[in-house]
Structure 1
Amino acid sequence: MAVYIRLDDAVRARLRGDGGGSASSGSEHEASACLSGLVQAFLETEGAVAGEEGAAPARNGGGGEGCDSDDGDGPERAAAAAEAVRELLDPPAEEDPFRIRLAAAVAAAMEAEAALRRYGAAFRRAVARRLRAAGYDAGVCKSRWEASGGVTAGTYEYVDVVVAAPAAPVARRKSGSSRYIVDADFRAGLEVARATAEYAAVVAAVPASVVVAREEAVGRAVRLAADAARRSLRSHGLHVPPWRKTRYMLAKWLGPYKRSTATSPSAMPVAGAAGMVDVKCRAVGFFPTPASASAARIK
């Protein structure tokens, strides 16, 4: 029998870690604001997860989105989900003017570093470096989570931008800062095999080139997309793979992460002989041990 937990406002406030500041170079975000976001999202989508594991679905506590039922993936339901995803990830300019300015800066940085696009880690660092040069508090974040409850372990990397209260949307100013997710691979991360036409419409609602959105909007959009993906897969008689379950998807952008602002040009690819490119990267935010560092110097 599934057990559902209801949190009062005081506990939610403590979990969210209200009042926290922006992240610093190489900092860890494995408690308070970051982990609590994933915990809260998990609790709010317990019904969806229970449905994936074969238990009876429950009513969603996060405002209605992500309700994980097997009522089908009809055109009307899919159209509503697609519209909601579009509004979350690409809201009107008047709702968040800062996001529009940031999106323009991201587009310019991506165009300037287009040659590095196929080198994922180097590309993200280059984009973050240009955003920092433009005055934004940008960093490269690497999330990492362990296997649990039928969800496999994994890692994911993306860029974020932290903005102080004066430039943040009115609804977020009380918390002291707002965090924006910048991910050029967001849409690719939602694709599934043999997608129904309805689910394809949901994926098509995601900006094709890059997603620039507040982290809470990303979380809500992911819950909607993960629920639609589950219905799409099950309509073909397919099981939901661990990497398409709601908790796995949320962990990518809302799970514990380490943030690095070390985006100097020295980390960029350098052209070598015969037109070859030598890319030297290390896991962002996960620093080598003294032994491995010494070994690197010996080489």
Structure 2
Amino acid sequence: MSIFSTNKRITNLFNNVARAPLVDYSGDDDFLSLSHLVHSFLEENTNVNDDSVANEFDSDRVEVDESSTLKRLNGIFSNNADNYRNKLLEHVYEALENFAFLRERNISIFRRSVAAFLREKGHDAAVCVTSWEAYDGTVTAGSHEFIDVIRKGSADTWRYFVEIEFRAQFEIAKPTRQFSEVLRSVPGVFVGGEIEMKRSVSILCDAAKRCFRSREVSIPPWRRNRFMQNKWFAPCERKANSVQGKPVKVTEVNGVSCRLLGFDDVVMETRRGGAVTVRTR
């Protein structure tokens, strides 16, 4: 439906006498005509797209159709246009397979091992820890750990997120059938850029909101979009084995300020007679 046809139906509600002042307004430039206000409102609300949704940290917007949610998520997760992201994803799954034995024993060491493997493959990867305080009276304090990869080009810098427990971040105790269907379409591991992360989190938080509302229960603060976005976009510290001693300031990437820290834990996999030994120091 075009903006023009919408405007026409609204102005047709007025008779010719009442409509004339709306169309032929010629008053002081410091004031806006009612016609201008109506047209501006319609244009603003008709041009809403995924980009605006991606930037909303606490949207109260609710999807009407679950099929629309599935379609939008599929559009994000099936996009193979980014060759670098595809190669990074391949290396991530290779690392997950190599260090699978660590996953249940120590998730933190497992995550560091994956990051170290990615660095060996030539990626600027590090474990990233975000943390934030409670604010606005609605967002509770929290922290989160994931892997990020910085890709530097000749003129631009891109940040990629590697979340090895992505689907698990959105699981709830008593999901509706619709929400379970949405969650099944989400990959367990997320590898993608800032826009893809923001959009997918926003869409999944909307789906969770509908789930809670259908159960007629309040939405927990830690399930709201603003809280969930903080997990990946709050101020962070990047931790890498290769850096020792005093923290080093990292240039701000995509509006997120990070510090690069070193840590002493080193995971070594050795095979002796078929056994796997894990050593930290």
CA contact (8 A) 2:167 2:183 kept: yes
* Runs (5+) with no aligned partner, structure 2: 1-47, 243-262
Cα deviation, residue 228, structure 1: 1.2
Q: 1:156 to 1:64 in 2, by over 3 A?
A: closer
- Counterpart pick for 2:123 among 136, 148, 158: 136
Write the distance in 2 (CA, Å) between the matches of 1:190 and 1:224. Answer: 11
CA contact (8 A) 1:143 1:256 kept: yes
Q: Does 1:188 align with 2:168?
A: yes
Cα deviation, residue 81, structure 1: 1.1
The corresponding residue for 2:267 is 268
Q: Write out per-residue CA displacement over residues 141-174 of structure 1, whole angstroms, 9 at most, x where no aligned residue.
A: 00001112222111100001111226xxxxxxx6
Higher relative contact order at CA 8 Å, sep ≥6: structure 1 or structure 2?
A: 1
The corresponding residue for 1:165 is 153
Q: Larger % of strand: which?
A: 2
Aligned counterparts, 1:1-299, within 5 A: 62-64=51-53, 68-69=60-61, 77-88=65-76, 90-93=77-80, 95-118=81-104, 119-148=106-135, 149-165=137-153, 176-208=156-188, 210-262=189-241, 266-268=265-267
* Runs (5+) with no aligned partner, structure 1: 1-58, 167-173, 282-299
Write the distance in 2 (CA, Å) between the matches of 1:120 and 1:212. Answer: 18
Q: Percent identity?
A: 33
Cα deviation, residue 92, structure 1: 2.8
Q: Write out per-residue CA displacement over residues 72-118 of structure 1, whole angstroms, 9 at most, x where no aligned residue.
A: x66xx112112212322x2332x111111110000001110111112
Q: 1:247 to 1:123 in 2, by over 3 A?
A: same
CA contact (8 A) 2:265 2:280 kept: no
CA contact (8 A) 1:79 1:198 kept: no
Secondary structure of the residue aligned to 1:82 is helix
* Paired letter, 1:238: V
List structure 1 runs of 4+ shifted beyond 6 angstroms: 277-281
Secondary structure of the residue aligned to 2:88 is helix
Secondary structure of the residue aligned to 2:162 is strand
Q: Larger % of helix: which?
A: 1
Q: Write out per-residue CA displacement over residues 234-285 of structure 1, whole angstroms, 9 at most, x where no aligned residue.
A: 11011111110111100001111111122688433899xxx9x99879xxxx
Aligned length: 204
CA contact (8 A) 1:85 1:205 kept: yes
The corresponding residue for 1:295 is none
* Paired letter, 1:202: V
Q: 1:204 to 1:262 in 2, by over 3 A?
A: same
CA contact (8 A) 1:146 1:154 kept: yes
Secondary structure of the residue aligned to 1:207 is coil
Q: Write out per-residue CA displacement over residues 121-157 of structure 1, whole angstroms, 9 at most, x where no aligned residue.
A: 1011000000001111100000001112222111100
